[in-house]
Amino acid sequence: MSFGLPLAHLKQKTKLKFSKAQISTPKAHARASKAQAAVEYMTIASIILVTSGIIFFYAWSYSHESLAVSKSTESAETIAAAIDYVYSLGYGTQTVVDIELPKSVTSSSVAEREVVFVIHTSSGYSDIVAPTRANATGSLPAAGGRHSVIVNYTEAGVVVG
């Protein structure tokens, strides 16, 4: 069955003409394959560098927050220990404690039987609380850095500040 097309033209051999640039030589193939490998290595290296950078950022951020919580906890416990020390020795006792607060401290207080620091973290605000045996009043620094805090037992009770 013929659909109007002569079959004779299908049997003819056609000569394909290529230019020299279209013919792939082994040397050209090797250069192209080396270039492709170089691009693949550069892609892999850039993915590794970006991933490493992201991991490093999160590790640094976590360690920075962990250090801030640790410094705040140590400072609160140091002040609480000084309050208990002054209270145990009685009226007229005074001591000075040195503390170091992180920059993320937003507020601090001494009230009733607690020393409280509030710090800002990536997950919000956290309260660092150290209990004491004595009722204490006074004020604490809320700015980051090194501070000397005086704790004394007066007629009004244990006073911090």
Average pLDDT of the chain, as a whole number: 86
Q: What is the pLDDT of residue 35?
A: 82
DSSP of 84-110, one letter per residue?
HHHHHH-TT-EEEEEEEE-TTEEEEEE
Q: What is the pLDDT of residues 63-91, one digit of tens each?
A: 888 899 999 999 999 999 999 999 999 99
| Those residues with Cβ within 8 angstroms of residue 47's Cβ, 6 or more apart along the chain or in another chain | none
Return d(Cα 58, Cα 140) in angstroms, integer: 32
The pLDDT of residue 11 is above 70: no
Q: What is the pLDDT of residues 98-115, one digit of tens each?
A: 999 999 999 999 988 999
Residue 65 DSSP symbol: H
pLDDT-based confidence at residue 125 (cuts at 50, 70, 90):
very high
Q: What is the pLDDT of residues 49-67, one digit of tens each?
A: 999 999 999 898 888 888 9
Q: Is there a contact between 136 and 158 (Cβ–Cβ < 8 Å)?
A: yes
Among 138, 141, 147, 160, smallest CA distance to 82 is for: 160
pTM: 0.69
In whole angstroms, how far apart are CA 93 and each of 34, 58, 153? Answer: 80, 46, 5
